[in-house]
């Protein structure tokens, strides 16, 4: 890091694990949400320092929300806030007057707004018109890879396997029922459910002896193990109700795997309807491929390159 670049504190109330991973990539500071305010009260965070917030978390009473973000943005030199998806759902619940007050306070203290991908940007522009009325654009910022990936693409597995990121607590959001029904139509394909904490069949409410081609991974997959897990898959699958720019999509592509997604993305297979029959048909189409996804690998390697992200981030802070 150049001596001219100020240190950066990464925080997030909605996705602290992501903030921590990115901070670690660059040897920067990561603070947990509550600890950040405790450090500020004690003047333990040395100034000047820039701030990077993942997700504009707005759950609770508005005046308390406003107070916290004003305190944060006024304490640090410059702030970047990245809309991550679920935070937009919370922001929609605020009144237009409340959102305008919040954004005006943040803009006053050198805050820039970005979204994690074009879909999140579009959603943010639609549901946050107050930013446009304040002549404040919402940019796009693609996060760097948070797991180490091999330089050489591993060969495809002999048997076709589909990897599905599926937190049990948000199974409805991640399309578990749709995938479960589609699995009955492609019994020769195995669907591998995994999450940050790990989960067994009971947590997905799968009766014993049923849906034998749905494999649940009870143990969490550590960051250093993620590339090994993906290498055993042929394809990734994500069918969510709304989304920003999922890192799993980039990771599967970078590993030369195919990816089925219910939004149009480069080098991915588009599921245009959340229908079990259509999903099964698309899986069978992808299953016939024996080659690696070389173009997707090159594209997402460049988009999520850590040096590229760092350069863009520094230019934002210096601007």
Which CATH number is 171's domain given?
A: 3.40.50.2000
Strands 29-30 and 79-83: unpaired
Q: What is the pLDDT of residue 220?
A: 87
Q: What is the pLDDT of residue 3?
A: 42
Question: Is residue 8 classed as helix, strand or coil in its secondary structure?
Answer: strand
Q: Is residue 23 part of a domain?
A: yes
Helix axes 176-183, 276-287, angle to 10 degrees: 60
Count of domains forming the chain: 2
Q: What is the pLDDT of residue 196?
A: 80
Residues 169 and 285 in one domain: yes
Sign of CA dihedral 228, 167, 126, 81: negative
CA distance 203 to 221: 17
Residues 6+ apart with CB under 8 A from 266: 296, 299
Residues 124 and 182 in one domain: no
CA distance 84 to 303: 17
Residues 229 and 106 in one domain: no
Q: Is residue 219 part of a domain?
A: yes
CATH number at residue 42: 3.40.50
Residues 297 and 184 in one domain: yes
Query: Is 189 within 8 Å of 215 (Cβ atoms)?
Result: no
Residues 217 and 118 in one domain: no
Q: Is residue 48 part of a domain?
A: yes
Residues 167 and 182 in one domain: yes
Q: What is the DSSP string of 51-114?
A: EEEES----S-HHHHHHHHHHHHHHSS-EEEEE-SHHHHHHHHS-HHHHHHHHHHHHHTTEEEE
Q: Is residue 154 part of a domain?
A: no
Residues 68 and 133 in one domain: yes
Helix axes 96-108, 62-75, angle to 10 degrees: 10
Q: What is the pLDDT of residue 244?
A: 65
Residues 138 and 15 in one domain: yes
H helices of 166-293, in order, are 176-183, 226-231, 247-254, 276-287
Q: What is the pLDDT of residue 4?
A: 60
Residues 194 and 284 in one domain: yes
For the chain, the helix, strand and coil percentages under 3-state DSSP, each to the nearest 5? 45, 15, 45
Query: Is 55 within 8 Å of 88 (Cβ atoms)?
Result: no
Q: Is residue 2 part of a domain?
A: no
Q: pLDDT tens, position by position, for the chain (319 residues)?
A: 444 678 999 999 988 999 999 999 999 999 999 999 999 999 999 889 999 999 999 989 999 999 999 999 999 999 999 998 889 989 999 999 999 999 999 999 999 999 999 989 999 999 999 999 999 999 999 999 988 899 899 999 999 999 999 999 989 989 999 999 999 999 999 999 998 889 999 999 999 889 999 999 999 888 889 999 999 999 999 998 777 678 999 999 999 999 999 999 999 999 999 999 999 999 999 999 999 999 999 999 999 999 999 999 999 999 8
Residues 312 and 270 in one domain: no
Query: Hey, what are 66's tokens?
Result: 């406003």
Q: What is the pLDDT of residue 33?
A: 96
Residues 283 and 311 in one domain: no
Q: Is residue 153 part of a domain?
A: no
Q: Is residue 40 part of a domain?
A: yes
Query: Is 192 within 8 Å of 215 (Cβ atoms)?
Result: yes
Residues 181 and 216 in one domain: yes
Residues 6+ apart with CB under 8 A from 308: 144, 302
Q: Is residue 3 part of a domain?
A: no
Q: Work out the angle at residue 123's Cα, subtended by the Cα atoms of residues 279 and 238, and round it to the nearest 5 degrees.
A: 25
| Predicted model pTM | 0.90
Query: Is 19 within 8 Å of 10 (Cβ atoms)?
Result: yes
| Domain with 181 in it | 161-301
What distance lies between CA 98 and its chain's CA centroid? 26
Query: Is 28 within 8 Å of 10 (Cβ atoms)?
Result: yes
């Amino acid at each position: 890091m150049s001596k001219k670049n100020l240190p950066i504190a990464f925080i997030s109330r909605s996705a602290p694990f992501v903030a921590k991973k990115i901070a670690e990539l660059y040897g920067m500071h990561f603070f947990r949400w509550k600890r950040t305010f405790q450090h500020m009260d004690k003047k333990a965070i040395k100034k000047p320092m820039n701030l990077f917030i993942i997700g504009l978390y707005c759950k609770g009473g508005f005046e308390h929300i406003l107070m916290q973000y004003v305190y944060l943005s006024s304490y640090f030199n410059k702030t970047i806030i990245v809309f991550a998806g679920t935070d937009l759902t919370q922001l929609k619940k605020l009144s237009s007057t409340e959102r305008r007050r919040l954004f005006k306070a943040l803009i006053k203290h050198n805050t820039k707004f970005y979204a994690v991908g074009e879909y999140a940007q579009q959603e943010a522009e639609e549901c946050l018109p107050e930013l446009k009325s304040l002549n404040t654009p919402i940019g796009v910022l693609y996060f760097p890879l948070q797991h180490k990936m091999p330089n050489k693409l591993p060969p495809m597995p002999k048997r076709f396997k589909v990897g599905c990121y599926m937190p049990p607590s948000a199974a409805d959001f991640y399309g578990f029922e749709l995938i479960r029904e589609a699995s009955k139509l492609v019994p020769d394909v195995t669907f591998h459910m995994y999450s940050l904490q790990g989960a067994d069949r009971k947590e997905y409410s799968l009766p014993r002896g049923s849906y034998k081609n749905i494999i649940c991974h009870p143990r969490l997959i550590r960051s250093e193990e993620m590339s090994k897990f993906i290498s055993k898959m042929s394809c990734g699958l994500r069918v969510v109700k709304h989304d920003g720019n999922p890192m799993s999509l980039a990771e599967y592509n970078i590993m030369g795997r195919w990816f089925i997604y219910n939004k149009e993305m480069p080098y991915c297979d588009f599921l245009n309807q959340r229908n079990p029959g259509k999903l099964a048909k698309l899986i069978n189409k992808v299953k016939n491929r024996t080659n690696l996804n070389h173009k997707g690998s090159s594209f997402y390697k460049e988009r999520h390159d850590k040096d590229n992200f760092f350069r863009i981030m520094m230019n934002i802070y210096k601007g």
